[in-house]
Amino acid sequence: NQAPLKKDHLFRIASCTKTFIATLATILHFEGKLDLDDTITNYLPDSITSHVQYADEITIRQLLSHTSGIFGINDNPEWWKAQFSDPTKERTDIEALEFAYDKPAYFEPGAGSKYTNTNYLLAGLILDKALGYHHSQGIRTRILEPLELDSTFYEQHEEFDRTRLSHGYFDFQGDGTAEDYYDLRIDTGHASSALVSTVEDMELFVRSLFTRSDFPDASYRKEFLQELTKLGPGATGEPGETGTGLGIMEYNY
């Protein structure tokens, strides 16, 4: 609509949401509410884990560092067919996870690195279990409020002024025509990519994550940052992705 962008415009930050999820999980680890090295079967019901290969070996840490080997929903063509056949449908976590059910793992847990949204869908459900309520509230009380990130919201679980949400455009059909995807609900309700934020809030979050001595708590600040930035397997030295921490990636250029 030719409206100029302003600093208070909101953007769907997509997979940058994963850093918030991993931050919350690591905070809960130090609070004693979960153990990053617990297997996912300690937190998720059999109705989910029975459909995940190696579920009794996969740890929360491996989910957050993309080293679980779990099949990614985005690699299932049926996922994309379902999304674009009804792009405004808000799918539950379970409805999304079903596109990864009973699919073979890419590798045994810890044997490699493969980025998938499935890892964070499961991580979100684990956070819900550990907290006793939806993880969006945990993000708000443990991250957004302490850091005064007043323009960051969990899109499908929190109210905000949607007139501030910027429009995005993408050539979905591959015909050279950019389409407005403002009304799309692809992953907007899931832990893999649910947040909306501003450039200012994102800058403050990242800066606080690495430089603020009292976040999330001065008593375990050093250990917290070590956990987040500890890289898993996959460091090839080739240009591109070379390793993943907890919601953090290292790139080699």
* Per-residue pLDDT band at 35 (split at 50, 70, 90): very high
Q: Give mean pLDDT, residues 177-192.
A: 79
Q: Which two tokens stand for residue 139?
A: 């993000």
* Per-residue pLDDT band at 231 (split at 50, 70, 90): confident
Could you report the per-residue pLDDT of 92-112, keeping only the tens digit for each? Answer: 999 999 999 999 999 999 998
Predicted local confidence at residue 120, as pLDDT: 97
The 3-state DSSP class for residue 239 equals coil
Which range (45-59, 120-134, 162-176, 219-233) has the least confidence?
162-176
User: What residues contact residue 167 under an 8 Å CB cut-off, 6+ apart?
Assistant: 1, 180, 181, 182
Which range (132-136, 157-161, 198-202, 227-231) has the least confidence?
227-231
Query: Has residue 49 got a pLDDT over 90?
Result: yes
From 231, 227, 222, 223, select the one nearest 250 (Cα to Cα): 231
Query: Has residue 252 got a pLDDT over 80?
Result: no
32 CA to centre of own chain: 21
Residue 51 DSSP one-character state: T
Alpha carbon distances (Å) from 32 to 27, 29, 146, 242, 249: 9, 5, 20, 31, 25
Domain ranges of the chain: 11-252
Which CATH code for domain 11-252?
3.40.710.10
User: What residues contact residue 89 under an 8 Å CB cut-off, 6+ apart?
Assistant: 185
